Structures are given as C-alpha cells and as structure tokens.
C-alpha cells in the first residue's frame, strides 16, 4: 500500500498552513507496530481499528514469529510496511517510517514491538500493549525473569500510556511504575453467524501455538485423567501448529492436530465442537477463549491469574478438575447453562467500550507528550 500524507500535519491532527494557524481538522494518526501476522495479536489490533474508525491507522510489521497469517484483511490500515528482521536495521527503518508517516502516536503491540519502539527515542509518544508481559513466562528461570522485568522497568520512562488487556496486566504495569494505565478489553472482531450445539458425543477443541505457553503437556494430563480415571472418552482437536515433536506426541496420544488455519476457518470449525479447553501456563487476554465463548462453547480453562481477573467462566485449578468439568458437560442441561455463561462473557467486550477506552488512552498520551 502506498502512503499519501499531508506533510503540513501538526501533532494535534490538524493541517497547519505557512501562517501557523490550524485550519482543517484531520483525524489523529496511529502507527501500530506488531511482531507477527499470526496468533491473536493482529486480530486484537484489527478489533481496535474497527472500534475507532475516526482515527487514521497505519501498520508496521516486524516479523519475529513463525505463526501462520490469520487471513485477516489489512485494508483497514491506510498503509502497511514490513520492517527488516534484524534489530538494528529494524530500528532505523522504523525511525524512517515515523518521519514519513508522522503519527500522533506509535502503538506497540507485544514485548518485541514494545522493545523496538522504545529502545530509542522516536520523537513521538509510544502507547504500549504488552498482550502479556514476557516476565510472566514459565519456561525461563528466575534470572531470566529478573532480567526481563528490569528491561520493562527501564522502558517505563519511554511509555506514555500502558494499554492493558486485563486487570491483572494493569496491576503488573502499575507495579513496574507506569503512571498512565488503561484497560482495553479484547473482543471478537466478527459476530459469529453460527452457534455451537450440544451433542452427547462431545468434541473438545483448543487453539494456539503448540509450545510451552499453551502447555500441550498439561492438556495431555487432562485427557489422560479423563480417560484413565474417569473412564470417559471424547474426541480432541488442536487448531494450530508448532514444535514437530510435540505435534507428533499429541497425535500419538489421540489428539488431532489441524495445523495453522485462517481465523475464520478456525471459528467455523470450532462451531462444530462442544467444549473449548484452554490449558495455557501464562496468557494475556486470549482471543481464542473470547471467540469460542462468542460461538456459545462452554469453557474449561486452567485457572491462572489473568483469566481469573477477566472473569473467564469454567476455570479449574487442576488437570483432574478440568477433566471432571468435561465429564459434567455431557449433561445437556448443564451444557446449555454453561453456553449462556459463555455468551454473556463474550458480550462484555464491545466496540463502544473499546472506543471509549482507546480514546482515553490516546488522549492521555497526547497530553503527556505535549507537556514534555
């Protein structure tokens, strides 16, 4: 996509003629920076863009992840640019892009993009959405946690507003020293046209990258307890891909691995399931849960602080408890009640709420930058 911009634009979103008097108001310009076209982050960004059509949105992609693309249309962005993969070149390219686009704010999404946009002064305020702080990872030791936390704390001074996706993330941000924190809840980008239906032959599904975060081993523990202790067999399917050995282990234990699919195809296939299982060891505000809930799928999710703070229904503290919940969902009356819980949870996120919170975040960022 080509960039067609008015070079006489001022910080406040106005065209400024040579006389210095603002005349025609132009929409504030936001440059979003993401590290992947896969996973839920891009869908989260697209929902934010959809909720704020009064803003002029641009996208820069710093390709760092191996997720497959979601298949989402990027036409909502005025311009889209791919940054070089190497960090030094990416920083330079981002600086050049900022000078061309002249955004009112840069909105960084996830840890890598947050580092890229704040490691140098871009001359524009940075709004930062961690989508789960990297120090919440459970696959690194305490030294790694401390190092990542130190980096995040050092970058607080280069962050105008921290946009949290959950109350838990907001609390962590304040502990780091962020003064301006706004919770912007995730939501589904599209209203599903279908709804899950009960079947006594339960199909259980999950979505995500097959790796440490989504904790595929924990899912196998749930499956083994359900079968070996509770004597119940259901069909299992994982939408996503990842480590080849992990994929094969899942298949060897009776879990179908669908591989990476477009978001809309995943939603369509999820609508044929009866239970959505989520066993992640750490999370932001996973869109996969929200989308499954919007389809009317009862949720069986591992209890972690983030999901508890979001009020996700169907949380269980152990693999045995998750297995018991799946067994209980063979009861059609309970299944129907849990479907309604899921639908109510999904409805809590709305475009109006996102618009209100994002406008608040961007206004605070502009005011903070103007005072420097």
Whole-number percent of the chain with pLDDT over 70: 88
Which residue's entry shows tokens 């269980």? Answer: 316
What residues have CB less than 8 Å from 45, skipping those under 6 apart?
Answer: 32, 34, 59, 109
Q: What is the CATH number of domain 29-186+350-366?
A: 3.40.50.2000
What residues have CB less than 8 Å from 201, skipping those under 6 apart?
Answer: 234, 235
CATH level 3 topology of 203-347: Rossmann fold (3.40.50)
Phi, then psi, of 175 in degrees rounded to 5: -65, -30
pLDDT for position 312: 98
pLDDT, mean over the chain = 89
Check: CB of residue 296 under 8 Å from CB of residue 195: yes
pLDDT for position 9: 39
Tokens of 297: 């799928």
Tokens of 182: 């706004």
pLDDT for position 367: 64
Instruction: Dump pLDDT digits (tens) for 220-253.
Output: 999 999 999 999 999 999 999 998 999 999 999 9
Other Cβ atoms closer than 10 A to 119? 15
- Could you tell me which of 315, 314, 306, 259 has the C-alpha nearest to residue 287? 306
What residues have CB less than 8 Å from 166, skipping those under 6 apart?
Answer: 183, 185, 284, 285, 306, 309, 310
Which residue's entry shows tokens 């989504």? Answer: 214
pLDDT band, very low/low/confident/very high, at 159 (cuts 50, 70, 90): very high
Least confident window among 34-48, 169-183, 207-221, 304-318:
34-48
Least confident window among 58-72, 92-106, 125-139:
58-72
Tokens of 32: 């979003």
Check: CB of residue 198 under 8 Å from CB of residue 272: no
Instruction: Dump pLDDT digits (tens) for 288-298.
Output: 999 999 999 99
Phi, then psi, of 57 in degrees rounded to 5: -100, 135
Residue 75: helix, strand or coil by DSSP?
coil
Least confident window among 13-22, 61-70, 251-260, 320-329:
13-22
Instruction: Give the CA distances from residue 56 to residues 7, 76, 143, 356, in Å, rounded to whole numbers and listed in that order.
Output: 15, 9, 41, 16
For the segment 306-335, the average pLDDT, to the nearest whole number, is: 98
Tokens of 323: 């297995």
pLDDT for position 141: 81
pLDDT for position 118: 96
Residue 10 has pLDDT above 60, yes or no: no
Instruction: Give the CA distances from residue 174 to residues 47, 299, 354, in Å, rounded to whole numbers and listed in that order.
Output: 25, 30, 21
* pTM score: 0.88
> Where are the domain boundaries for CATH 3.40.50.2000 in the chain?
29-186+350-366, 203-347
Check: CB of residue 109 under 8 Å from CB of residue 48: no
Residue 308 has pLDDT above 60, yes or no: yes
For the segment 96-118, the average pLDDT, to the nearest whole number, is: 96
For the segment 129-154, the average pLDDT, to the nearest whole number, is: 90
Least confident window among 6-15, 133-142, 218-227:
6-15
Least confident window among 19-33, 82-96, 134-148, 324-338:
19-33
pLDDT for position 3: 43
What residues have CB less than 8 Å from 149, skipping those under 6 apart?
Answer: 135, 176
Alpha helices in the chain (DSSP H): 41-51, 87-101, 111-118, 142-154, 167-176, 216-228, 244-252, 263-270, 287-294, 305-310, 319-328, 332-347, 351-370
What residues have CB less than 8 Å from 215, skipping those under 6 apart?
Answer: 279, 280, 281, 302
For the segment 336-345, the average pLDDT, to the nearest whole number, is: 98
Phi, then psi, of 195 in degrees rounded to 5: -140, 145
CA 328 to chain CA mean position, Å: 30
């Amino acid at each position: 996509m080509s960039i067609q911009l008015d070079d006489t634009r001022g910080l406040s979103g106005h065209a400024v003629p040579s006389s210095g008097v603002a005349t025609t108001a132009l929409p504030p310009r936001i440059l979003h920076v993401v590290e992947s076209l896969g996973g839920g982050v891009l869908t989260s960004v697209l929902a934010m863009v959809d909720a704020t059509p009064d803003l002029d949105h641009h996208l820069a992609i710093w390709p760092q992840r191996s997720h497959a693309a979601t298949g989402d249309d990027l036409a909502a962005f005025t311009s889209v640019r791919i940054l070089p993969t190497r960090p030094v070149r990416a920083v330079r390219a981002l600086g050049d892009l900022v000078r061309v686009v002249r955004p009112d704010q840069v909105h960084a999404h996830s840890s890598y993009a947050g580092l890229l946009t704040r490691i140098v002064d871009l001359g524009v305020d940075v709004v930062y959405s961690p989508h789960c702080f990297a120090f919440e990872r459970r696959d690194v030791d305490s030294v790694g946690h401390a190092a990542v936390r130190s980096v995040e704390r050092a970058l607080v001074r280069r962050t105008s507003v921290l946009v949290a996706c959950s109350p838990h993330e907001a609390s962590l941000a304040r502990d780091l020293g962020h003064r301006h924190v706004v919770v912007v809840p995730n939501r589904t980008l599209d209203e599903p046209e279908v709804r899950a239906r009960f079947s006594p032959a339960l199909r259980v599904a999950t979505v995500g990258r097959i790796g440490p975060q989504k904790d595929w081993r924990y899912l196998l523990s749930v499956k083994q307890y359900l079968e070996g202790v509770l004597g119940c067999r259901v069909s299992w399917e994982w939408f996503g891909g990842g480590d080849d050995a992990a994929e094969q282990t899942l298949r060897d234990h009776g879990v179908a691995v669908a591989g990476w699919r477009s978001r809309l195809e995943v939603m369509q296939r999820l609508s044929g399931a009866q239970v959505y299982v989520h066993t992640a060891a750490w999370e932001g505000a996973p869109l996969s849960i929200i989308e499954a809930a919007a389809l009317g799928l009862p949720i069986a999710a591992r209890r972690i602080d983030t999901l508890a703070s979001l009020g996700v229904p169907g949380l269980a503290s152990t693999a045995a408890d998750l297995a018991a919940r799946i067994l209980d969902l063979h009861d059609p009356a309970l299944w129907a009640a849990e479907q309604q819980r899921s639908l109510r949870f999904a409805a809590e996120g709305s475009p109006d709420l996102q618009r209100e919170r994002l406008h608040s975040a961007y206004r605070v960022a502009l005011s903070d930058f103007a005072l420097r």
